[in-house]
Every structure is written in C-alpha cells, then in structure tokens.
C-alpha cells in the first residue's frame, strides 16, 4: 500500500462510482455482487472501480472486501502547511492575524473592533516611533500588506496609531 494524501483520497472519492463502492463496502457488502446491489451499480462498474481503490489501500480484498481506515486516518493528519503569519507579530497578534492573513498579506480587515485594533497595532508597529513618513512611503509600507492601503492608512489615523500633519505621518 502506498501512502495516500488527503488530495489523493479526495480525488479517489470524487468519482461517484468509486464513492458508491467504498460506501457499499463500508456498509457491509463483501463481494462484487453485494457491492453492486448495495451501491446501485452494475458489477462491471464495481470491477472497474476496485483496482484503483485497492491499489491506493482504501479497500482490501482478504476474505471479502473491506474498507481500510488507515488511509483515512493518515489523510486526516495530512494538513497543508500553516499559513505564513506576518513577521514580528506578538503571540497575541499572531492568534488574531492567522485568521486574516494568507501568504503574508491581509485578506480583509476584521469587522470586530477588538480584532481590528490588534491588526492595526501590528501595522502601526511597522513604523518607527519618532520618524516622519511622507504619504507615499506610508502607502508603500501598507501596500505590502493589503492592496487598499488608503483604507488602512485612514484606520491607523482614526484609531490614533498614526498622526497626520500636512501629509506627514508619524507613529504615536
């Protein structure tokens, strides 16, 4: 038996005939004729579906057909790598950010005020205290995190995390 990934298992069961075969065997059908009857398939359809299921280790043919649960357990543990979180986030920020960040960029600004504040505090920390930033530089920095940098900039000012005076921004 080869190791079955979640994607492979999903692909195998994405075919209706193979899914019906596995379901019928899981319900107790042990022969091709039993599987055909239980799954509402012709015996020829069952014979075509079985080789791939057996080769993948999803179905065993020892003293009758049986579903092997090991590939399902393995596939359940086969998770994609964690989404990259934004660098420099505190543990508290990381807990919130992981819900709104994908591939190092914000998918959306949270609606809930407490979560939005955490995200904005993270963004504000990308600016050094006591340094003046021209608007284009603020736009460039915020644009690294989300395409709507103008909204982020406005939120940072509205929340009092950045100040704006004559087009010059400063972290407070």
* pLDDT greater than 90 at residue 153: yes
Which residues pair with residue 86 across a beta bridge? none
Residue 6 pLDDT class (50, 70, 90 cuts): confident
Among 38-42, 44-48, 62-66, 104-108, the least confident range: 104-108
More confident position, 5 or 81? 5
pLDDT band at 1 (very low <50, low <70, confident <90, very high): very low
Average pLDDT of the segment spanning 128-144: 94
pLDDT of residue 80: 60
Q: What's the mean pLDDT in 10-21?
A: 94
Cβ neighbourhood burial of 62 (10 Å; 0-12, 13-18, 19+): exposed
The architecture (CATH level 2) of 6-77 comes to: Orthogonal Bundle (1.10)
Residue spans per domain, the chain: 6-77, 91-171
Q: Which of 65, 73, 72 is nearest to 27 (CA)?
A: 65
- Any idea which fold 91-171 has? Arc Repressor Mutant, subunit A (1.10.10)
Mean pLDDT of 151-156: 96
Instruction: List strand residue ranges (DSSP E) for the chain, in order.
Output: 59-61, 65-67, 101-102, 105-106, 132-134, 162-165, 168-171
d(CA 66, CA 58): 9
Domains 6-77 and 91-171 fall in the same CATH topology? yes
How confident is the prediction for the chain on average, in pLDDT? 91
Report how far residue 159's alpha carbon sits from residue 172's, in angstroms, rounded to the nearest whole number. 10
């Amino acid at each position: 038996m080869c190791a079955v990934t979640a994607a492979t298992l999903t692909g195998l069961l994405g075919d209706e005939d193979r899914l019906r075969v596995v379901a019928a065997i899981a319900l107790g059908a042990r022969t091709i004729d039993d599987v055909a009857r239980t799954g509402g398939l012709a015996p020829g359809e069952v014979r075509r579906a079985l080789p791939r299921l057996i080769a993948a280790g999803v179905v065993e043919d020892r003293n009758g057909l049986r579903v092997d649960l090991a590939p399902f357990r393995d596939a359940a543990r086969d998770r994609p790598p964690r989404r990259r979180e934004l660098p420099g986030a505190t543990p508290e920020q990381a807990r919130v950010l992981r819900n709104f960040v994908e591939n190092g960029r914000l998918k959306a600004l949270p609606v809930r005020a407490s979560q939005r504040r955490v995200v904005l505090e993270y963004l504000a920390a990308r600016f050094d205290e006591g340094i003046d930033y021209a608007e284009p530089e603020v736009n460039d920095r915020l644009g690294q995190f989300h395409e709507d940098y103008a909204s982020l900039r406005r939120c940072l000012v509205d929340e009092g995390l950045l100040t704006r005076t004559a087009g010059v921004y400063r972290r407070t």
